[in-house]
Structure 1
Amino acid sequence: IYSSTEIHKAVIKRLKDYGGSKKLLSQLLDEEQQRELEQEQEMEEERQQKRPPVVQPYEPVLHNEIKSLCDMQDPTVKLYNLPSVFRPLKNAFLSTTFHEHSQFHCWQANLWISTEFQRVIQTHGESLDPFLRPPRWVLIYRNQHVIFVSAFEANWLLGQLQHLHRNQKFVQPPTTTLRLLLPRLQRDRSIFIDISRLTIPSTVSCSIPVEWLAQLFIFNGTLYFNTIEEQTAYCQCLGLCPKPRTKLEDDAYDNSWIALDGYVEQPEYRKQLQLHHCCFSSNPLVFVRKLLENRNSSHAPLTSHVGSIIFNAVKLPIL
């Protein structure tokens, strides 16, 4: 009589003899299908990745007019007389798909870009959407104008402004300062532009009017606000009246003064709703959403202050 252990060993031996080490056909098919699915997924991901074409970058140039901005004893430079070096902010969107939606007459007249900030690649008719320069370095000129400059220009301005400050060639306090501007992509993050010890040269007063900040937030792709004042200015700038609303605003919505997305189009309605700082004559939300996606390489999350406003027409609490 064979024991159970011996029977078990005998069965295993027979299975190995007849089955060998070959896998079942169904298992082989499953593995082959899995490999095909993985290959298809990789190919689909590659198709979705929009790689910009190979291009030739511009050689950076430092214009004398940029250097002259540091001369505090000279008369104020009339930027509008130097279009080869300074251009209104609207020109940042030339040769991009944003240009037709940017409503270029609606940007504040004291917001500028240098032509070097705009020049990134040598174009041959292709869209510059993938090559929009991140707006990081800002020169506050005579406390009147905001000029976005390239990193190459900022590097020279940084050294020159520090040199003049060390040699006490500045009027006090300095009215021309170089500052770093970062988009606020997370709550409670600094945007740097309003920190006095980070301005070059450092200055006691470095506040930026909130109406200026609102347009800078739109331009650089900010997602969060630090104060209710910033949030209000942002909505006012875009002509939006999002929820939660007052009784007057609820009545205006019921009367179709306010669109579903929160936009108030008619000037007389804006006046009654106290939207005194609206800069856009037509609904800018398509432009803002698209620009945010370009700046941050993703859609604005609905949990962010800006995402909630432009997608859900709802103001989230500023914590």
Structure 2
Amino acid sequence: MSGEELLLKEDTEDPSLSGQEAQLDMIRHTCREFSLVTFREVTLQEMQECELSPENEREQEVENPPPLEPQEHSVDRDVRHFIKKGILDRSSIAFRSVFESLSSTSAFTSFERNGWLGCLLVTTDFARTVQAPKGQVLDSYIRPVQWIASCGEGVQGHYVILSPYEVNELLPSIQQHRAVNLHVYSPRTNVSSCLLEDLHFCAVLKGSIAPPPSLVMHLNIFAGQLYWRTYDDYVSLCRFLGLCHSPPDRGVDIASDGFINPGHRAKYDLKMWSECCFSQSPVAFLRALMALRRRGQVTDRSHIGMLLNGIQVDEQHFRTLRQT
């Protein structure tokens, strides 16, 4: 036993330690506190390293957007007329295209207006959320989609996204006049979520409703939906956007993000050739839009995430999802 280890013994009789009982008791107490029973070099070094090793602490810090004054709510008279009569004046400033409502966001810089249809509108009260200087980027202030008013059938129908304030103000009128339908909607952001894109969930209906596929597609994209119902819906989306959905034949010009060269669409897919109006890839715009809608959420493994990363989703993937 080494001389240092003799210090741990209560009955040590070393004459050189006479008169230092208080210090010895303190040393023994500290050794017992740290379960130290030996002074062998390796063990002591390990304990010293353990004591000195820094503890990494991670604290998540949420970066909130700068405070701005909220926009004062109002219900335009043309919106009231639409609710009461089911007649929509598309020339009114009370309505605008859904993607035009993103004009104050960073995503709008890569927006190609001619590629999108004008089948889905929003009200001005829905689009305007805060008071901000002209030109300020308002990425953090876009409103989620929750309420939709509709009238008419098929592609001739009118579909307008309303703000929660407008719905609260107009609900008695909707129930009284029965000129429009009111729908509750939420995008599908995980596999287990229910699909509400048929617009029947908790709806106030004046009659049967069957939204056209083109309307549903625009609604899902604008709202930030991550998962599609079927493989056919996925292929239809790819055709509309001009993106590759299956291995191409030799000679078809495809960009790294999956965008089919407009001059090669007829060779790749005749339906894509007739349906897609994009002259440049919409991937940059859609990535920016999904980043705004799903802020902080990892989307790479979702249907839309794989599509925007140039990864083809096969039919077997959708079969597997239906079985889970």
| 2:30 counterpart residue number | 21
Q: Distance in 2 between matches of 1:77 and 1:18?
A: 88
Q: How many residues align?
A: 283
Q: Which amino acid aligns with 1:187?
A: V
1:291 to 279, 289, 292: 289
Match of 1:3 in 2: none
Check conservation: 2:122, 2:161, Cα contact below 8 A.
yes
Equivalent in the alignment of 2:207: 203
**Residue type at the aligned position of 1:177:** N
C-alpha distance in structure 1 between counterparts of 2:251 and 2:192, whole Å: 38
- On the 8 A contact 2:97/2:122 being kept in 1, the answer is yes
Q: How does 1:83-102 map to 2 (within 5 A)?
A: 83=93, 85-102=94-111
For structure 1, which runs of at least 5 residues remain unmatched after alignment? 1-6, 171-175
SS in structure 1 of the partner of residue 318 of structure 2: coil
Aligned equivalent of 1:137, options 136, 144, 147: 147
Deviations 1:132-180 (A, max 9, x none): 1112211223332221111111223333222234xxxx5xxxxx31112
C-alpha change, 1:101 and 1:60, in structure 2 (3 Å) is same
User: Is the radius of gyration larger for structure 1 or structure 2?
Assistant: 2
Q: Which residue of 1 aligns with 2:39?
A: none
Residues 1:156 and 2:156 aligned together: no
SS in 1 for 2:254: coil
Mapped partners of 1:238, 1:263: distance in 2: 8
> What code does the residue aligned with 1:122 have?
Q
Name the SS for the 1:87 alignment partner.
Answer: strand
State the identity %.
Answer: 24
Rounded Cα–Cα distance in structure 1 between residues aligned with 2:159 and 2:261: 28
Q: 1:28 to 1:57 in 2, by over 3 A?
A: farther
Does the 8 A contact of 2:145 with 2:161 survive in 1? yes
In 1: Cα distance, 2:212 partner to 2:196 partner:
15
Return the letter of the residue paired with 1:60. Answer: H
Q: State the alpha-carbon separation in 1 of the partners of residues 147 and 189 from structure 2.
A: 17
How far did 1:98 drift?
1.1
Residue matched to 1:261: 257
The letter of the residue matching 1:94 is: S
- Native 8 Å contact 1:223 1:305 kept in 2: yes
Q: CA deviation at 1:256?
A: 4.3
Aligned partners of 2:24, 2:284: CA distance in 1, in Å?
Answer: 68
Structure 1 length as normaliser, TM-score? 0.77
**Equivalent position of 1:271 in the other structure:** 266
| Cα distance between partner residues in 2 of 1:10 and 1:209 | 93
Give the SS at the match of 1:55.
coil
Aligned AA for 2:187? P
Alignment match, 2:216: 213
| Unaligned 5+ runs, structure 2 | 1-7, 13-20, 35-43, 320-324
CA pair 309-203 structure 1, distance change in 2 beyond 3 A: same
Question: In 2, distance between residues paired with 1:285 and 1:28?
Answer: 55
